[in-house]
Structure 1
Amino acid sequence: MAGGNIVAICQYGGEFVSNSDGSMSYTGGEAHAMEIGQGTLFDEFKSELTSMFNIDISGMSIKYFLPNNKRILITVSSDKDLQRMVDFSADASTAEVYILNKVDNSFCRSRSNVADSGTSIVATATAVRGGRRKRLTSGARATRARMRAADSGNPNAATNAAADNANNVRQKRPNVAEDADNCASRTIAANLGMPVVAIAAAPDNIGQQGTTTVDEVDERATRSVLVEPSNLLIPSVATPEDVRPLNLNSLWDNVITGVGQEFDNVKDFRAQLCKYAISKGFVYKFIKNESTRVTVKCNEQNCAWRLHASESSYKQKFVIKKMNNVHTCGGGNGKDGQRRATRQWLTSILKEKLQETPQCKPKELVRELYEDYGVTLTYSQVWRGREVAQKELYDTLKETYSQLPWFCERILETNPGSVAILSTSLDSKFRRFFVSFHASLHGFEHGCRPLLFLDRIPLKANNQFKLLAAASVDGDDAIFPVAFAVVEDENYDSWIWFLGQLKYAVTTSRTITFVSNRQKGLDEAVPQVFEDSHHSYCLHHLVEDFKGELRKGLWPQQVKDAMVEDFTRAAQACTIEDFNASIESIRNVSSQAADWVIASKPENWSDAIFSGSRYDHFSSNIVDSFNNWIPAKKESSVVQMVDAIQGKLMELVEARRESSNAWESTLTPSMEQKLQKEVSKARKLNVLCSSDTVFEVRGNTIYVVNIGSWECTCRRWQNSGLPCMHAIAVFDRVGRSVYDYCSRYFRTECYHLTYSASIHPIPDVGGIDFNSGANSYPPATRRPPGRPKRKRFNPDKTNTVLRHCSRCKVAGHNKATCEAVL
């Protein structure tokens, strides 16, 4: 055999069998052997297989096992995949190759989800047990969403109109609050024979979709507005014969993604886990179920699926630490299997349905839960869940109706120049609330760098609302809150709305640099609202994504850690040369990992390419300092949450203003410390004068410093705002003060401007009348037709029920009054 070649044992016509340890073995069929090497092309390989087995390979897929791994099948679909197979199997000298039908990836004795060419690895699943409920065929029944599209008379109308609307809403720029909320309403439309897809409704076509949008923004002096964006579509009624279960829960397939995923709290994790299990069609049980750690496993005996999550040690978030996504019981495929709902899940789903149809009866809800999610519940279970959902809805509605408008007015009265915007639906249901105090806006405009961090603040006990925040950093590199928003959910629409209000509130002419985790629609929302801004991706989340990509490989942990360090150096590199060196270091280990890094848009996270100014801030986790601002007992009320934030802001502004009065240095303490480190490095450098403003600085390498344009070829001066050691060496040579070349944002007088305005308390928050407007709750119900039925007591009616004593067995009395002697 030629050097570098391997023997491929090609098999076709057999079946896979799952072993007790989760591995798979192939039995039956016929097998042939052929020699392949690095120079073998994929088309030649397919041609050889066609002649070997006398089959049409175009309808087949080619897969193989990695050495010492009989659990995961890897797909071969290109020349590069074939070369990887030869490389991976070089030590073993042989590779077992299987030819499978593409139309039937379920095997006779086991069904397996296979990985595609090393990019994603999905666990195997065994055959479904015969005693489980089978899902109806896709062609037998139509979903309610499909019926909506069919009612229009044109089966393609819903899909085509929705696609046009999606294009329109992406092209329209949400300039102020009036435009920002138009993108918020979402509807579901489907074409007959096509999957259900969520699409954004265009503002111009909202009337055709059955929704209404009314946004009014007052002048800056008023700053308070009641926005009534949209009503949801009322679902059409379908008979049991026209429904197919399990049609909408596919949207939950990715709510659990794997190790490293973060959740606000343990309640949020449990809620998402329930959605994931319902979507995948399996039942789990808790091994540990505590406030700081949760361990669950599949309820089927001997199934390998298992997940462990616990509270993060460095952040107040709940993180998945371990996850085995292998279902050896046949579950987890989303097609078959039982589904078990929790009371929290049922309440959240019923609240959504009651917002659409408040008068929906429990019997209808039982049917819709089975139609939409495949969950079978009793009438009494749904009735009790409906009562809890109605109470939570009415409590929120009462607060929105009576407290929040009053609270907006009081914010503007006590803190003139602030922004407080309330967004509700047409029937006064709460949707969103935005607040930015005048002191925060003034401090950001006059003392902070044009740098904003966007993130969601995790709440400890409340999953009903999401708290969004925008924060900057002051001259001492401390967090400076700018704006907050309480929204119903974190998604593209809520971020578009929040950024629209932020643009209205922050009236600055500076070009702002945003730092975010780019998730939940932020990647698209930021450039759409702030067109001329710069958007940087959070390095922490990028590193976690890169680690997840490296888990798919078979490298030792030390090699993975070295590639992560190279990735971090690439993000912090100031020059193209340093960036390319880090990428090449990764490529020497894995070209696929290097390609992933290049495909992750380094122009948005590497200092060598990024066009904005981050001032050495690479992560958006700076807003994690807000985690303890809101007590858990105040999270149930929007007013109490905002009031708690206002109290913390007031204390923060006063404390920092008080401490800065004692500063005597030109720069803030943290910046002075950074500058002195650079000064100590500059003493070993040699300076050559080229002109009055251009100098050559020599150390280990040669750099050119231009003090006229505040630039150095090392790019540290431009990126950080503080002179680098090369520039400091030039200042020492020409006798100039280094402080004259520091960014003004780092000066003590600029820090004083940041905290020059005060946040005033709202003294009468505790005196809010919780009962005002309460006569509107619950909403009036429509009287049924006909005369009301009455239950009348008939004294002449004979009692047909005979009660017998359980002691003496005589009729007419019970055991408590029995006087018989036995």
Structure 2
Amino acid sequence: MYRMDPNSCYVLKIRLLGNPKKARKEPMCFYFEKVIDFDLTNYEDLVESIIVQYQPRYLEVVHVHYYDEVLKTFLEIKSDQELMYMFEKHAKSKMVQMFIVYWEPSEPYEPIIEYYSDVHIQPKNNIDQDDDSYLRNPIPENEHVGIDEENMYLKEEPKALNMVLFPDKEKDQDYVADGESEDESEDGSEDESKDESEDETEVEEDDELHEVNHAPNIEYDKDDPPMTEGFIYPNMKEFKLALSQHAIKHEFEYNTEKSAPCRFRGYCKRRDEDNCPWRIHASTTDDLCTVVVKKNPFGHDCSSARRKKKVKNATKYWICEKVKDWLIEDATLGAKELRKKLKEHHKVKINYKRVYMGKLLALKQLYGDWDISFDNLYRFKAQVESCCPGSIVQIDHHTINGKIRFRRIFVAMKPCIEGFLSGCRPYLAIDSTFLTGRFKGQLASATAVDGHNWMYPVSFGVFDSETNENWIWFMQLLRQAIGSPNGLAICTDDGQAVMTGVKEVFPEAEHRECMFHLVTNFKKKFHGKVFDDHLWVVAYSWNPYLFDKHWVAMETTKPAATAYIRKWHNRLWSRSQFSTICKVDYVTNNLAESFNNWIKHHKSLNLDDLFDKARQLIMILWNRRRKVAKELDGLILPHIIKKLNAMTRELNLEVVESSEEVAEVTALGGSGFRFVVNLQEGTCSCRQWQVSGHPCKHALAFITSLSNAHIRHYVDLYFSVDKYRAAYAQLIPAMSDKTQWPKSNHGFFMHPPLLKATAGRRKTERYKGCGEKKRKSGQHLCPICKEYGHHWHKCKKGNPEDIWTYECIEEPPKKRTKTTKTAELSIVPCEDGVPTRICFPPSKSLKNTNKKGKGGKSESVRSRDQEPAQNIRSQFPSSFLCTAMKQMFL
């Protein structure tokens, strides 16, 4: 047995932190110690030994840090050299404080370190209902959608604007609706009313600040503008902003004695209290524009005004100038975050409402007036139709109380339409995402996929809410744009409105349902290991045999669960029943979600700016992908051939030829399944080749066994270089800014839509589903014994007198009464001739429903009634049964 050398042994006190963005039932932080011999340890082995015990999630990067007691900070370890340097620093103490974090990649192109372990992790028998690992997609890489992957061909860095690679930032959660009062600051204190001088100043400023005069370009320090006598400013507006900044910088306040377009006089606010002699006088020169400081003879003798609750000189115009650069970088910044930034940079605490008003003023100057942005959509329509003939821009409006108001809009660029029809597979992912600006509407989109599996926007639009009427209107315009291509497949979520729109407008299309949304709804009602083992496998099954096999396994264990799916999720969601025309094998709607994520940083813009930004992003995407097309040659896209060549290695398959074009392919050493491959027809009995469009492993085994066969000849032409070039053949035209758009002669002014009043503050982030990221879970603190894990009425360590006192003050919670619920076992039979309905195997629970015994009960019901309750309990461990299941079985 090996014994460690005490001179080379170190004790590692490790604190491991999981990704805080991932919901976990277990504690987020783990503490443990590890004794190692630094002579026999390297960086990779150390990390491997840790992740075997604490597995990271999919695509998570391992970051290793240690605490440097000299520098009083954490340093990161990325190599063996840095690890040895850490040991040298702690040679005396022989003890190291380490900090390990599992995190997603922080940089857009940071390589992901993947660790492979031979240790097989056994699944838990007791699955907790709130654990987001339950029913998680086992192979999410099959649903990959590319957005910024052109660098595999191009050497240059991407130049897209505000891509989805940026981490999530705090959204604007502080929007105030029209007429809603927000006189309270963040800490709950009421906003102080303005004094007369400030009111007078701002009223006069309001008229002046919008004047545009010719002014010389004068450079000075914007953070500390000089106020010496004789200094010149371009105009009165800039002088007043500079004076506000000067007062905030030097921590004093001033009152306005005279404010006019041609002169300004002010004095220190504490002139009477502290006898401060400071005063200033400025006036315009002969050109009636340039302002010169005439008098500023004295300094300040008063105390600092920085720590006051209300800084008078930080007006909304001053705030507007300071936050404008931040809003250019990220227009979704809220007043709460801007308030923090102003405090960090200028050391002043400003009232929340004033920051919000300054933000609105800055957004108005940057992106225009919100009230006219909707009428400006007609100018956007005219510009698009003139620059890109054949594009569809449809605007709908309605009249409310005598005013014509915006209702909805649809946009489909001509290059996107033609590229989809000539170069993409006939597949569309349709979804909508909420807007985060002042208008809380829905941004709908129809997204396709090219030969690289890259996102391909086809059309997008905005309406107020997801209703049947809005979705049918959107689908009708979409059909007008693309028609009805042969083999069209449309994937949506389980929303009733969007499903109705597809059914009404595209009845002949193959209607697929997102498996992720199905699982999200399913796990709210049913729970059990059998679903974790079989539900996703059913979706990813290529042929009906495997579908039936795993479906029956679930139905045997829990007939009510499969009956629920038959009734409420009878659209297509399994590969075994996908058509073989569109050559897309996605079972989730990740394609539409990728578009939503791609555009999310611009959803707070005015609609005219939002649509112009979306057009610009598509233009950038088309330009880069046209460059990629110029680099390609050959028949099939290189990355497809590279992927298929990798699949041909280490195939443990036996090929028995029936002819030159047909063979039997058998798996060796495993299941022994045998499949029939026909190269002439391009089919395999596993159906993967027909559904996906490129050869499966059985076909690859047969192809590579032939001397004169090449893989590229057996890949569907949807993945060809010519199809890819055709998809991006037409240019997305460049457009001027909106001030230069042509005027529209639509004959009326379109007013903004009426904003719906809602209770509470407006939300800018949607509510999370049961399978998505949640907040951290914590333990309850007992107020009597001060220990975690129980409530006061169950405390066993506390003083009985304290418990009795609590019982007198507040009663213990009442026990919930159980209500009996009957499981819904009705099944909707499949409709003949409708390709959008999924076909389930015959339900065993219905075979005996017509066989009636004595007493009028069917044999299946009678046998279930007579079965002892203990036998039913034994089939389902009570540790993982949810409340509904306990009521059903217990």
Whose relative contact order is higher, 1 or 2, with alpha carbons under 8 Å and at least 6 apart? 2
Which structure would you say has the larger Rg?
A: 2
Shared fold (TM-score greater than 0.5)?
no
Q: TM-score range by the shorter chain?
A: 0.3 to 0.5
- TM-score by length of structure 2 reads 0.40
- TM-score by length of structure 1 reads 0.44
